[in-house]
């Protein structure tokens, strides 16, 4: 089965039709959950990245900030995934030809990869290599905000 056929199956499934038939205000609620998830993830990344760049809460322990924001990031990602699926499923085939849709998930994959490797590693010490820390911060910010931008552009094209 091709990707497009898979999308068609998802969209026309019982669940897909049920979500698609929801009241507009429900859809606003789902998008709101997506935005809340976004703010939780992005603000946590910003807080830690500022620290990695040597600004913001620079007198606080990096590992401390990393651990204190971990919970918010995972809750945020949870909200994003669930709401994201509810947004995607009822209109799956309409996203297939949209370049920004595919770009978003490429960027998301890269962001998660960075998050689980470099970002996690560099935050394990309070005195990381300054250059590596700054590069990690720039990479994280670029990728995560890139996901947000690509996501916003989906709706316009």
Q: Which of 18, 22, 32, 116 forms a contact with other proteins (CB under 8 A)?
A: 32
- Look at residues 110, 47, 42 and name the one whose alpha carbon lies nearest to residue 77: 42
Number of residues lying near other proteins (CB under 8 A)? 30
Q: Which of 9, 12, 60, 124 forms a contact with other proteins (CB under 8 A)?
A: 60
Residue 28 binds to other proteins (criterion: CB under 8 A): yes
| Only segment of 12-20, 22-30, 78-86, 117-125 that touches other proteins (CB under 8 A) | 22-30
**Residue 81: alpha-carbon gap to chain centroid:** 8
Positions in 108-137 near other proteins (CB under 8 A):
none
Joined tokens for residue 122: 């560099």
Minimum CB distance to other proteins smaller for 1 or for 25: 25
Residues 6+ apart with CB under 8 A from 36: 76, 79
Positions in 88-107 near other proteins (CB under 8 A):
none
**In the complex, least distance from residue 53 CB atom to other proteins, rounded to whole angstroms:** 11
Convert 59-92 to b/e letters by CB count within 10 Å (16 or more is b).
Answer: eeebeebbeebeebbeebbebbeebbebbbbbeb
Asked if 123 contacts 62 with a C-beta cutoff of 8 angstroms, the reply is yes
Minimum CB distance to other proteins smaller for 42 or for 118: 42
Residue numbers of the site for other proteins (CB under 8 A)? 24-25, 27-28, 31-32, 35-36, 38-40, 42-43, 46-47, 50, 55-60, 64, 68, 145, 148-149, 152-153, 156
């Amino acid at each position: 089965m091709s990707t497009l056929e898979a999308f068609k199956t998802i969209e026309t499934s019982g669940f897909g039709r049920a979500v698609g038939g929801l009241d507009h205000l429900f859809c606003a609620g789902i998008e709101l959950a997506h935005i809340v998830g976004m703010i939780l993830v992005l603000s946590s990344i910003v807080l830690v990245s500022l620290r990695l760049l040597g600004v913001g809460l620079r007198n606080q322990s990096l590992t401390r900030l990393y651990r204190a924001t971990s919970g918010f990031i995972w809750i945020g990602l949870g909200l994003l995934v669930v709401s994201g699926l509810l947004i995607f499923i009822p209109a799956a085939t309409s996203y297939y030809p949209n370049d920004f849709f595919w770009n978003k998930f490429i960027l998301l994959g890269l962001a998660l990869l960075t998050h689980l490797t470099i970002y996690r590693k560099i935050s394990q010490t309070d005195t990381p290599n300054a250059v590596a820390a700054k590069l990690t911060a720039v990479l994280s910010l670029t990728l995560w905000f890139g996901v947000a931008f690509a996501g916003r552009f989906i709706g316009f094209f």
